[in-house]
Amino acid sequence: MIANIIAKRIAIIGVGLIGGSLARALKSVHAVTTVVGYGRDENNLKKAVQLGVIDKYSLNIVDVVTDADIVVLATPLSTADKLFAEMSNALKKTVIVTDVGSAKGSIVKSARENLGDLFKRFVPGHPIAGKEESGVEASCAELFDAHRVILTPVAETDPEALNLITEMWKLTGAEVLNLDVENHDTILAATSHLPHMLAYALVDCLSRMQESDSIFEFAAGGFADFTRIASSHPRMWHDICFSNREQLLNVMNQFDQHLNKIRAAIKDNDSDALLELFERAKTSRDNFTDQRKNRNDSPE
């Protein structure tokens, strides 16, 4: 597929898995003329140039965003305030700024406080795609293909900016949906953030047990499947915990209550309650996988 050019110059702030994959995807369909990267690790940026992910880079964010048509913030959420503040005065009036963060409430607040009049040109976004590997070497043009990207525009969001970012993500092969900020953060706390917390907690708990060597020696496929996401980037998930704090704590409290019901059923030898819960969970899981398969198999 060859696309029309949507931006002559796109600035990728944070050239890792997501930022790098977006750059690769847009370059693969010739949707951008020049991709400029910014980051703190010059070796990573040099590698990105060598791999053809970006065309050039700078360690000065002002140099990178000046004259950019689109700026994509793809760094840990805790960096947003600093980076928005540093870039704000260098952005041209027609720029469109977007991001890829997993929690939207905090990023919208940061953009509103730092971008001034250009806040209306900010389109919050979150691609529901990834893998446990991180870094530009893990990036690939196909990462977003047949995956969903959620955009969370607010009342001030310029419709033109929203339309262009929608088109940008469609060019990567993604399905683009809109949600409001609160719904996004509530849903992702349950479906993404909580599972990551459980995976990290389980691996850390088992690794600290006296029998940890034997535990990991005999762990099989089920353990590997369940804990795969514990290999995700620790700094990124650290930031997500605090950026989506209230929603995550709420769903963790609900999970604690549910886990206590399982504990009570085992303690009280309540076979019926435990079997009912397992059967209910299996049905829900099977329905989820069927719906997901049907969605992926349906024609566009």
Identify whether residues 191 and 164 lie together within a single domain.
Answer: no
Q: What's the total number of domains in the chain?
A: 2
How far CA 56 is from CA of 50, 141, 281, in Å, comes to: 10, 18, 50
Assigned domain for 288 exists = no
Assigned domain for 210 exists = yes
Please give the Cα distance from 259 to 264 (Å, whole number). 9
**Cβ atoms 13, 19 nearer than 8 A:** yes
The model's confidence at residue 99, banded by pLDDT at 50, 70 and 90, is very high
pLDDT reading at 160 higher than 50: yes
pLDDT tens, position by position, 248-265: 999 999 999 999 999 999
Contacts of 222-225 spanning 24+ positions with Cβ under 8 A: none
How far CA 70 is from CA of 3, 31, 91, 128, 154, in Å, comes to: 16, 12, 10, 20, 18
**Cβ atoms 147, 176 nearer than 8 A:** no
Please give the Cα distance from 221 to 204 (Å, whole number). 18
pLDDT tens, position by position, 197-255: 999 999 999 999 988 888 898 889 999 999 999 998 898 899 999 999 999 999 999 99
Assigned domain for 33 exists = yes
CATH of the domain at 208: 1.10.3660.10
pLDDT reading at 298 higher than 80: no
Q: What is the DSSP string of 231-273?
A: GS-HHHHHHHHHHTHHHHHHHHHHHHHHHHHHHHHHHTT-HHH
Chain mean pLDDT for the chain: 94
Identify whether residues 156 and 205 lie together within a single domain.
Answer: no
Assigned domain for 262 exists = yes
Nearest to 51 by CA among 9, 91, 17: 17
Identify whether residues 101 and 16 lie together within a single domain.
Answer: yes
Tokens of 232: 């995700």
**Cβ atoms 74, 99 nearer than 8 A:** yes
Q: Which domain holds residue 159?
A: 7-178
Assigned domain for 130 exists = yes
Nearest to 169 by CA among 180, 178, 156: 178
Pairing of strands 32-38, 56-58: parallel
Assigned domain for 1 exists = no
150, 178, 206 - which closes a domain: 178
**Cβ atoms 64, 15 nearer than 8 A:** no
How far does Cα 297 stand from its chain's mean position?
A: 23
Q: What is the pTM of this model?
A: 0.88
Identify whether residues 226 and 142 lie together within a single domain.
Answer: no
